[in-house]
Structure 1
Amino acid sequence: MLKSRSKRMTMDRLSASSTGSNSPETKSNMVLAIECLKGSSKADEWNQNMLQTGDIVEELKIGNYLCVPSPFKSGTTGIQKLLRESYKRNETSIHVRVRRGQDEFIQLLACIVPNESSSGRKQYMLKSIDDPNYTVGFSDRTEEDCLAVQGSKSFRVETALRRAKLQDGYVGYPWEKKMQDLMPVANSSCFLSLLLLPKASDSGGAQYNDLEDTLSRANAWLAASQAHGVPIVFLNIQTESLLTKISGETASATVNAGSLSDLSNLANVSLYGFEDYHGVDIGVVRAVRLWYAPFGGELAVEIKLQETDLKLGFAISRTDEGFIYISSVIDSDEKEDAGPTPSTRSGLTYLYKEAQKASKLLIVSRVSNEKVLPWMVSSTGAIRCYDTISLSQKLSLHRHALRPILLHVFVWDPSLVSVSKIGKYNKPVTTAAPPPVMAIPPPQEIHLPQGPPQPTNDNKVHAEVASDVKVLQRDTAGEVSFRFNDFSVSTNWV
């Protein structure tokens, strides 16, 4: 009898335990919840009409053939199987109805797409029709968890912030139109520079001076140009690496693969080498590029020609540093029978006189929009610049063809651009403002001459007299320097 009572008490206890485990208070009520995978690109991302993480899925309608209400068998596993089968049948349109809180329902029209970022087995997600950047997925949660997430907007924002990633891409740009419309000189930059190669320390070109020597020569070129009256200012200086093929003995230093200690040996060398995978010795030349700018920008002067013009009315020369400049002008008067020269009508004569007053050279930077500035210094120390004789011939041909000449000159005073300053003849047409400059202190104080500057090596131009064109020959030394014969021509004017 005791055994029967004990057995009955044990069965009652097990029954009570079983009944308690099935009670609503202890059983976890699992539901299918929304997981926001990618935020909207619109400003209404946190609008109440958008699906949010923690929303409880109540119903799914796929195309026009299937409607699945909650509860969902097998949770996310069953839903992924359903989405995969629908995607294979090209039935990708889906209508999602979710519940937020107890009585708020929201709907989303989306399409089924693969989730490329998912790991493991291929998963599928929903992409909004209205905003393709907004995607959601599914997860298994308890209803209590969903309600807690729904009640905490800050949690959703923090979750989205943690998952948010910045994206980049390529966009088209109308380069040709911008270069035509916005540049002072179409398709030509306003950046001016001089590239200096390291100087060879021997006649065979096997050894080169160090980087400090190249920097010093760049500084000397800039200081000498300013001392001669070239109105330029320092912008920046940088090293520029150029690749070449060398022999092992030529390099001042070498770099071995995997050895960082060799980098300290390259601090001041101008040429170092390394061996590539095929055993070829590659040399890296450390050139120096000096960036500079005209103090007041560039000014365009258009010289219009007439049939009665016998001369252009100005002469051009070149400084030791390679700059082309107006060396002299004819000061004509309208009362003369021939009338004013083209240089007077265009305002070039006025600019030349103003340059003399300011002890500056009137530098020609472009001819017909083509730059005529020095642009490189070779390893022998020769400056690569433009030939004044060929330039003289081109200007003479312009006069004979009655084609207008467009010159750009360096400006030292931006106020010269104003109409009142140009005088009663044609004014320069456009100006390119200089970029912001950074001062570089000269090694010593430079005193500019009070009168018109006279460079030591002018290389003055001799051009045509009256209507005859005298073809002058150029004697070149190599490809980086010029030698001029002493031509016995009766005039220096073009």
Structure 2
Amino acid sequence: MKLQVRIVQQKGSILQRKYTIQAATDHKHVADLRDLKLERCNELQGEYCIDTTTVRCMAWFSATVSSGVPLVFVNIQTEQIPSTEETHFLKREIATSKQKINNANQIMHGIRLWFLPGLAEILVVLIPQPGEARFGMEIKRTEEGFVYIYSVMRGSPADRAGVREMYEELSANEFLLVISRLQCKSIMPMNVCSASLVHCCDQSEMKDILTSAIDQYEMIQVHVMAWSNQTRPSPIPDVGGLAALLHPKSDSSL
């Protein structure tokens, strides 16, 4: 999100000349910049209600689509979870919230976000040849937790399997070629903890799996998500006044 701000002198810092930022259109809105640990940040937010959790959930999805991840919104729902149960879900959960009742018991509320690949989840089989030391694709992770392919070597197993062709087509339209499964095991961000930290797959473990397979000259199955040039995300409902944030940006890519 882009904000118009101005640099102003921080109150109470006449001698030390400390500065902070102020909203350009309202002098009453001043940011308090501090070096805090995550636990202290969560304590200051006080956003343990279902409405704010839903807003954060949709903001996460909006940022994901804006990054170029090919996802289509399907549905969003809430559900209660027993207080003794871990705050983890089975699929597609993006946020959790807490509500205190009678200052004693806690009821956990979860936000379940359902989404689909933009066009399809495509199975790609990478088959190395004797003497090849790599499958020929480099991977990165978006800030939202999705693993994607950012380069493919010509003449490599990935190139022969058609990955480079898909990568170049998507890159030309500023979309990402996202890996959704490796050896049929999902590597998508699927759940979060009560502190709103998104749990992602271990990227080093992915590289170990690929390295082990290439060392043994074994084929490996990779599922990727993509969409065609004509396909665009379906409309996303306005949750908490986020309509302006919930559309893909053509000029942004991680």
TM-score by length of 2: 0.70
Letter paired with 2:237: I
Identity %, equivalent residues: 27
* Structure-1 separation of matches of 2:167 and 2:72: 20
Deviations 1:6-27, CA, capped at 9 Å, x for gaps: xxxxxxxxxxxxxxxxxxxxxx
Other-structure match for 2:208: 393
* 1:228 correspondence with 2:51: no
Q: Taking structure 1 as reference, are residues 224 and 344 closer, same or farther at Cα in structure 2, changes over 3 Å only?
A: same
Q: Which residue of 1 aligns with 2:53?
A: 214
CA contact (8 A) 2:181 2:224 kept: yes
Among 341, 352, 355, which residue is 2:170 paired with? Answer: 355
Residue 162 (structure 2) pairs with residue 343 (structure 1): no
C-alpha distance in 2 between matches for 1:401 and 1:343: 16
Matched residue, 1:369: 184
- Structure of higher CA gyration radius: 1
Higher relative contact order (CA 8 A, sep 6+): 2
Question: Whole-Å Cα distance in 1 between the matches of residues 164 and 61 of structure 2?
Answer: 27
- The match for 1:447 is 249
Contact 1:236 1:438 in 2 (8 A): no
Q: 1:297–1:414: 8 Å Cα contact kept in structure 2?
A: no
After TM superposition, list the pairs within 5 Å mapping 1:296-445 onto structure 2.
Answer: 296-330=119-153, 332=154, 340-413=155-228, 439-440=236-237, 443-444=243-244
Instruction: Compute the displacement of 1:390 (Å).
Output: 1.2
Give the drift of 1:351: 0.9
Q: Does 1:271 align with 2:99?
A: yes
- Summarize the Cα distance change of 1:414–1:405 in structure 2 as closer, same or farther, 3 Å threshold: farther
In 2, the alpha carbon distance for the partners of 1:225 and 1:357 equals 18
State whether residues 237 and 243 of structure 2, in contact with CA within 8 Å, keep that contact through their aligned partners in structure 1: no
- In 1, Cα distance between equivalents of 2:249 and 2:200: 26
Letter of the 2:118 counterpart: F
Q: How much does 1:273 deviate? A: 3.4
* Distance in 2 of aligned mates of 1:239 and 1:314: 38
Query: What is the distance in 1 between the residues matched to 2:59 and 2:184?
Result: 29
Q: Which residue of 1 is the match for residue 108 of structure 2?
A: 285
Q: In structure 2, what is the Cα distance between the partners aligned to 1:312 and 1:323?
A: 20
CA contact (8 A) 2:133 2:215 kept: no
Distance 1:446 1:411, change over 3 A: closer
Q: Is the 8 A contact 2:173 2:229 kept in 1?
A: no
> 1:210: how far off?
1.3
SS of match in other structure, 1:244: coil
Q: State which of 198, 202, 205 in structure 1 corresponds to 2:43.
A: 202
The answer as to whether partners of 1:270 and 1:286 remain within 8 angstroms in 2 is yes
User: How far off is 1:282 after superposition?
Assistant: 3.9
Q: Distance in 2 between matches of 1:273 and 1:303?
A: 53
Q: Are the aligned partners of 1:235 and 1:438 in contact in 2 as well (CA < 8 Å)?
A: no
CA contact (8 A) 1:355 1:361 kept: yes
2:59 aligned with 1:238: no
Paired residue type of 2:137: F
Give the aligned residue type for 1:217. R
What is residue 458 of structure 1 aligned with on the other side?
none
Cα distance in 1, alignment partners of residues 230 and 131 from structure 2: 33
Deviations along 1:256-288, one digit per CA (max 9) or x if unpaired, are xxxxxxxxxxxxx8414379xxxxx54211111
How much does 1:379 deviate?
A: 2.3
Structure 2 stretches lacking a partner, 5+ long: 1-40, 85-96
Tell me which amino acid in the other structure corresponds to 2:80. Answer: S
Q: Please, which runs of 5 or more residues in structure 1 have no aligned partner?
A: 1-199, 246-268, 276-280, 333-339, 417-435, 456-494
Residues 235 and 404 from structure 1, CA distance in 2 versus in 1: closer, same or farther, beyond 3 angstroms? same
346 and 326 in structure 1: CA distance in 2 versus 1, 3 angstrom threshold: same
* Number of equivalenced pairs: 197
Distance 2:250 2:234 in 1: 21
Deviations 1:303-328, CA, capped at 9 Å, x for gaps: 11111212211101111100010011
| TM-score, normalised with respect to structure 1 | 0.37
2:91 is aligned to none
Residues 1:344 and 1:415: Cα distance change in structure 2 (over 3 Å) = farther
